[in-house]
Structure 1
Amino acid sequence: MDLRPGSPQLRDEAELLNAPFRLRVLTPLAAMLLVSLIDYFSGPDAYLASLMSVVPPLAALTLYPLELVLVSSLGMVLLVLLSRYDGLGSVHDLRLYHGTLVAYAALTLAGAVISYLRVVRARQLVAVSTVAEAAQRALLRPPEPQVGGIRIAVRYVSAADSAQIGGDLYAVLETPYGVRAIIGDVRGKGLGAVRTSAVVLGAFREAAYDEAELTGVAMRLESSVSRHVPTDEFTTALLVGFAAPDTAELLHLGHVAPLLIAADGTVRTIDPPDPWVPLGLGALATGKPRPWTVPFGPGEVLLLCTDGVVEARSKTDGAFYPLAERVPPLVADCGTDLETAVARIYADLLRHTGGRLRDDAVLLLLARAEPLGPPQSADRLG
C-alpha cells in the first residue's frame, strides 16, 4: 500500500536537510578544487581566480547559513592565494582583484540569506506534509491486506504536491452484511474536497454497518451530502458488497465503471444497467438507486478506480490511459499477489503520463481470499 505522502521535490528537500555535512559540502568543495586547478595550470598570465565567485551560490543550494559562511571563507582564502599566484602587477589588475573581493563578499552575504530562506521553506513544507499525511491517513484509514474474506491492494495519489491530500476517497469495511467497499471522487480539489470526502466516508462507515441493503447505504450517503455539503458540490461513487460467496453486488452513483479481470486474464467492463446520479444531485433524480449483481468467484479480480486513472493523458499524444487494454498483461501472472498487480498498473500509468499525474487517482483491487486448507492436527503442528 502506498499513500504517497510527499512529492519528489519535497522528499528531496527533506533529505537534504538531514544529510550529513560531509555530503552537503561536496559541491562547493568540488567547485573550489576545480577553479584552483584551472587557474594553476593556466599559469600566472591568466587571471581565473575570479571564477571562485561560483562558490557562495553553489553553497546556498546545500548548506545552512553558518556553514555557508565558513565554506565561503575558505573560498575567499583560496581566491587571495590564487590572485597572488597570478601576479596582479598593474593598477588595472588590482582594480579587478578588489572588485572580485567585493563581489565575492556580496555573493556570500546573498547566499547566506538565500540559504536561510531555503531552510525555512523546506522546514515549513515538511511540517505541512507531515500534518497533511496525518490528516490523509485519518481520513483514508489504510485497510489491512485482507478484510474479511476479501484481499485488497490500493494506490492513492494526490495531485496536490505540497499537502498531498485530495478529494478521491475509498474505504473497505467488514460489516454484519459482509465486506463492503466504496470508491469515490469529489468534484474539485483542496480543502473543500477534503471536507466533502470526510462527510462521505463518515456517512459510509456508519451506514455500511446499519443498512441491510446497498440502496439504504446510498440513500444515507445522499442525505449526509445534501445536509452538510454546499449545493454546488457533488461526488461520484461506486458501492460494492460481498455478501454472497460467488457474486458481488454493485451500486453505481455516476462513477467510473469497474473492471472484472477473470482468472484467465480476460477483462470485462461492468457497465451499470441502471446508473444513478452522483451524491449531492439526488434531488434531480426520481426513485432510488438500484444495485445489480455480477458473478465474482475465486481467482477473479475487481478493479475500481477514479477518473484520475482513466483520464490520465499521454505525454506524447494526449491520449487517455487505456486501462482495459493494458491491464491483462500486467495482472496475468500475478496470481494472488494483488500488491504486485497494483504496483505494475501504477508504474505503467506513470510511464503513460511521463512520470506525473495531473489529477487525484485511486486504484483499488479486490479479490476473494483463498480458502484455508484442512486444519492440521496437534501432532503435526508439534
Structure 2
Amino acid sequence: MHRLFTELEPFITVIEQNLADRVRYILRLNIFDGAEHERLRCEAVPSSNENATTEDAVPQVAEQPAHVNTPVVADSNDDGTFTHPDHHPEQMRSTLEEAIVVTRSTPLENRPRFPRIAISKRNRAVVRALNPILVTYLEASRDLCETDFLFGAALLVCRTIGAKVSTAGRATGQSSAIPPLRRRIEERIAKTRALIGRLICFISGNNRPRVVRTVRMAFAGTNVSLSQPDITQKLTERIDDLKQRIAAWGKRIRRYTERLTWFNQNRLFQSDQKRHYESLERPMESGTGPAPNQADTVAFWRGLWSEPVNHSEGHWTEVVASQCITPMDPVIITPDDGAEAVRRATNWKSQRGKRLDGLHHYWLKDFVVCHTVLARHFQEAFNQKSLPSLFTTGITHLVP
C-alpha cells in the first residue's frame, strides 16, 4: 500500500506507519459504507481481471483521473459528520513555506502569540495532516535551532482553523494590572453614568438628536414613548434605577477586591509567613518614593549577570569531589523519553520566561513526528555540553 501511495503521490512524504494509521482511522469511524468503499477501491485500483496482480494494476492507477488526490486525512465537525480538509497537501506545503519564512524573519520577542484552540476532532485532524509534511523539514534539520519551523506549522494551523492570532509581540504586549472582571464592571459603570448624564440633559430641555436617540434607546423594549405626559416621572424612575445598578456594581467590585486580597494573603501565608506578617504590620505603599534610576539599575544587574566572574574554590572541594562524587552514568535520550516528557506537560502552559518563542506544549504533543528528531538533537546538545541561545535566553521582569 505504501509503495502504491508513493507512486500515486510522489510529492507527499509519508511513512508506512502513518499511512496504516490513517486507514485504521477511516475504518474505525465508519466514514464510508461498504458500497462507498468498493467504489473507491475500484477507482483507485481498477482491474479488468479479478486475478490481476498488483504489478499489473500499477500502470492503470497512474492513468486514472485525480480521484485519489484528495487527502486521506479525514476531518470531523462537532456534529459528528466528517469532511475532507479544504487544503490540498501541496497547498499546505506552500503555505507552510511562507509561514516559516515569516517566522524566521521575525525576531523571537516579536513573534505572534498563539491562542488556546479548541481540542476538537476537526482541529486535531488539521494538526495531524501536517505531520507527514513536517517529516521533510525534520530530516533536514541539523540542530535545535533549525527546529523553529514548528512555530510556523503552529501558525499555519491557527490560520487554517480561523483562530485569532495576536500580532503584538510578547515583549511589547503589556498585560493590564486591573483584573478582567473588575475592568468589565468599571466599563459598565462608565457607560451607565454617561447614560444618566444624557437623561438628565433631556430633562433639562436639551433636545438635540443625539440626546433624544439615547433616551429612546434607554426605553427600548418598553411601552414608554417620549410623547407621554408623565415622561419626566418615567425618566426620573429610570435614572434612579440606573443609580441603584451603579451602587450594586460598586459593592460587587468591593467584594471582589476583598476576596482577592484574602486569596493573596492566604497564598502568601502558605509560601512565606514572614512576609505575610510584615505586610500586615507595615503595608507597602506604592509610588511614594523616588523612581529608580534606569542606568543604575541596568548597571547593577549587568554586573551580576553579564560580566564573567572567576571564583576561587578551596582545596576542600577537590577532596569532596574525589571522595563523595561518583561519575554519572551515560545519559541516552530516546524518543519515548521526549514523548513522555511532553505528555505529562500542560497543554497550554506558556513558555514565556523560559523560551522566547512561546511555543505551547500542545503543538509538541500533536506534532508526533518531531519526537524522534528532537530527542536526537537534545542528545547531541547534551554530548556537546552546549545549548543554543533559544533555550537559554528568557524575558526577565524586574520587580521594584
TM-score bucket of the superposed structures, by smaller chain: under 0.3
When Rg is computed on C-alpha atoms for both structures, the one with the higher figure is 2
Normalising by structure 2, report the TM-score. Answer: 0.22
More strand by share: 1
Normalising by structure 1, report the TM-score. Answer: 0.23
More helix by share: 2
